[in-house]
Amino acid sequence: MMSFRLIQTFCICLLTVTIMSGVNASVTASIDRHEIALGESVNLTITTDEATRSNPDFDMLSAVFEVGETGRSMSTKIINGAVSSETRWTVTLVPKSLGSHIIPPITVGNDQTQAIKITVKKPDPNATTGGNLFIEWSTNKDQAFVQEEIILTVKLFYAVGLNNASLTDPKADGLIVYPINKAIQYTTRRNGTDYQVLERKYALFAEQSGELNIPPIVFQGEVMDGQSRNQIGLFRQGRPVRISSAMLTLDIKQIPADFVHKDWLPATTLMLDQSWPQNQVYRVGEPITRRLDITAQGLAETQLPDIAVTDIDGARIYQEKSDTITRNNGNHLVSSKSITQAVIPNQAGPLQIPGIDIEWYNTETGEAQTTRLPAITLDIKPAAGGQQQQSPPQAANFDAQQPAPTQVAIAEDQAEDITATNPLWFYGTVIFGLLWLFTLVLFMLKLKSSGSKQIPSRPQPPSSQISLKNINQMSPGDCQNQLIKWWNQQYQQQVTHLGEIQQQLDDATAIAAIAQLQKQLYVDSTLTAETDWQRLIKKGHFKPKLNTNNGHNSLPGLYD
């Protein structure tokens, strides 16, 4: 019975693992080129994120493509204890006809890839061969504006074996060059000859207008064709060879007059987006992180614009350093910039965040365009624990006992009347009063000797008095903590952040000092501040707007 339960448990666990592995598996398909000429080849890659013994079924492709041999590779990675596996298949396909073709979903185990579209064009009638080895290059446009992206495609055709080969990159004065992709290799047929093709793409940006001449691309290497022998009849390692492409000339136009005094952003697309913290209650004095993302196709990261930062009604805005990155999608450069801002509200209620407009030039339509980020409204709540401003405590609580003198006066009047009618009662009252005073003195002396705390006419500083002696040398974080502790002790409050203190200040110098400290904390920790906090507090700048204690502090000054 026990063995049956063990077998049953094992089978259930095995079934669960099998089901989960199938659920988590992901299979994708990709090709190195989506547009080719008839007679050229394309490489199809199938990838799954698990180790599997199943193989894709490529038989269905034979109706449209000549299917080459399939290569397979497997890899396993262990990162921070997490194990991941990958299996990859690569097959070369040669279309049999012109037009648009669909590579259908391919089955791997229980999963299928997505369908892929490929376009097959007629071969270039102007293309010529140059023997067994030659270079072709072309651009997607002959004219372009200054700083507009130009896509350059370089192809090396070879029908012989090569060794120690190298191909130079394009370069010219006033030209910035970005590689778009790694070398793509495929096969093609020209005039009855089969060639291997090495293709590279570059994004070019001209920095000045006028005629741009790009020197030829140069190939150097060794040809392994067996035509050259040494003196004893043995083949050498290879025959040295050097070939060059033709020179390329482009017409670079000046920036349009409408953009001379603006940001010049020639791109095919430009998007602007923003994000705010989710599931957060926005409160007065507490920083809110705002992220702005600019993404453009056809621009490098150095061309992306900055976004001006200005304070708005109801909040202060501080901008942090932006992060930029340039990548490519296989055909164009794609750059992005992420800008983080700290928005610190200074009043409760609706906070209107203005919209942002970025004007750019669409190189596909040849027209100016504007990308707009609409305005939004945030609901700002009062500061937590500090929405009700507290006044400094009254000295010794004597104001609360003001009715007592009136009662004494009434008693004195009554005593005068009683004295006139009954002197014995008067003397008894005096003796009783003296005894009460004597008892009170003894009680006070006893409390003093035992160390008990009695409210004096002016409170003495507690033993845990917050010291600001070294506050000017503290880090921004320690300085913030010390100021909050001192403020809460000095004015009997319970504030939790600098924004609550700043709300209560009336002195411009103190408000500016708090703002500078917040900038160090939330924006740029490398900023240096020269605030003399000791002098600021000693001179009376650091105190609440409302002072209801008639000039009496609940605690003696720090520098008394």
Virtual torsion, Cα 327, 328, 329, 332, nearest 10 deg:
140
Average pLDDT estimate for 366-374: 95
pLDDT tens, residue by residue, 187-203: 999 888 999 999 999 99
pTM (2 d.p.): 0.58
Taking only the tens place, the pLDDT of each residue in 262-278 is: 899 999 999 999 999 98
Q: Which residue has the higher pLDDT, 356 or 97?
A: 356
Using only C-alpha atoms, the chain has a radius of gyration, in whole angstroms, of: 41
> From CA 224, how far away is CA 240, in angstroms rounded?
9
Task: Flag the least confident range among 230-239, 393-402, 494-503.
Answer: 393-402
**With bands split at pLDDT 50, 70 and 90, how would you rate the model's confidence at 550?**
very low
Half-sphere exposure (Cβ direction) of 281: Cα atoms closer than 13 Å = 7
- Type of residue at 153: T
Going from the N-terminus, what domains does the chain have, and what CATH number goes with each? 24-121 (2.60.40), 133-253 (2.60.40.10), 263-380 (2.60.40), 471-538 (no CATH)
Q: How far apart are alpha carbons 411 and 145 in whole angstroms?
A: 100
pLDDT band for position 443 (cuts 50, 70, 90): low
Write the CB contacts of 285 (distance below 8 Å, at least 6 apart in sequence).
344, 345, 346, 383, 386, 497, 498, 499, 500, 502, 503
Q: How far is residue 187's CA from residue 33's CA, in Å, rounded to a whole number?
A: 12
From the list 190, 184, 166, 177, the residue with the least C-alpha distance to 243 is 166
pLDDT at 557 over 50: no
Average pLDDT of the residues in 546-560: 42
Higher confidence at residue 196 or residue 559?
196
Residues 304-361: pLDDT tens digits? 999 888 889 999 999 887 899 999 988 999 999 999 999 999 999 999 999 999 999 9
The single-letter code of the amino acid at 452 is S
Mean pLDDT of 100-113: 90
Spatial distance between the Cα atoms of 261 and 8, rounded to a whole number of angstroms: 78
Q: What is the pLDDT of residue 543?
A: 85
127 pLDDT tier (thresholds 50, 70, 90): low
DSSP state of 38: T
- The amino acid occupying position 333 is L
Please answer whether residues 286 and 497 qualify as being in contact, where contact means their C-beta atoms are separated by less than 8 angstroms: yes
Amino acid 410: pLDDT: 36
Banded model confidence at residue 505, pLDDT cuts 50, 70, 90: confident
Residues 6 or more apart whose CB falls under 8 angstroms from that of 203 comprise 149, 150, 151, 152, 177, 178, 179, 180, 300, 328, 332, 333
Across the range 82-95, mean pLDDT stands at 86
Dihedral of CA atoms 155, 157, 161, 163 in degrees, nearest 10, equals -30
Distance CA 287, CA 290 (A): 9
pLDDT in tens, 476-490: 888 888 888 888 888
Pairing state of beta strands 143-145 and 248-253? parallel
Rounded CA-CA distance 338/80 in Å is: 29
Contacts of 524 (CB under 8 A, 6+ apart): 320, 321
Highest mean pLDDT: which range of 342-346, 505-509, 555-559: 342-346
DSSP SS3 for 420: helix
pLDDT for the residue 211: 94
In terms of Cα–Cα distance, which of 96, 98, 101, 97 is closest to 116? 101
Residues 558, 541: Cα–Cα separation, whole Å: 14
Percent of the chain exceeding pLDDT 70 equals 74
CB 67 within 8 A of CB 91: yes
Q: Which of 151-160, 180-189, 517-526 has the highest mean pLDDT?
A: 151-160
pLDDT at position 386 is 54
What pLDDT band is residue 76 in, cutting at 50, 70 and 90? confident
Give me the half-sphere count of Cα atoms (radius 13 Å) on the Cβ side of residue 309.
18
Is residue 111 within 8 Å of 129, Cβ to Cβ?
Answer: no
How far is Cα 474 from Cα 555, in angstroms, rounded to an integer? 24
Cβ atoms of 533 and 468 closer than 8 Å: yes
142-156, 219-233, 257-271, 348-362: which has the minimum mean pLDDT?
A: 219-233
Instruction: Give the per-residue pLDDT at 559.
Output: 38
Q: b/e string for 393-423 if b means 16 or more Cβ within 10 A?
A: bebeeeeeeeeeeeeeeeeeeeeeeeeeeee
Q: Mean pLDDT across the stretch 500-519? A: 82
> CA 511 to CA 545: how far, in whole Å?
12
pLDDT (0 to 100) of residue 26:
84
pLDDT value for 284 = 93
What are the residues facing 57 on neighbouring strands?
none
Average the pLDDT over each of 5-19, 79-93, 122-136, 350-364 and give the range with the smallest value.
Answer: 5-19
Confidence of residue 182 (pLDDT cuts 50, 70, 90): confident
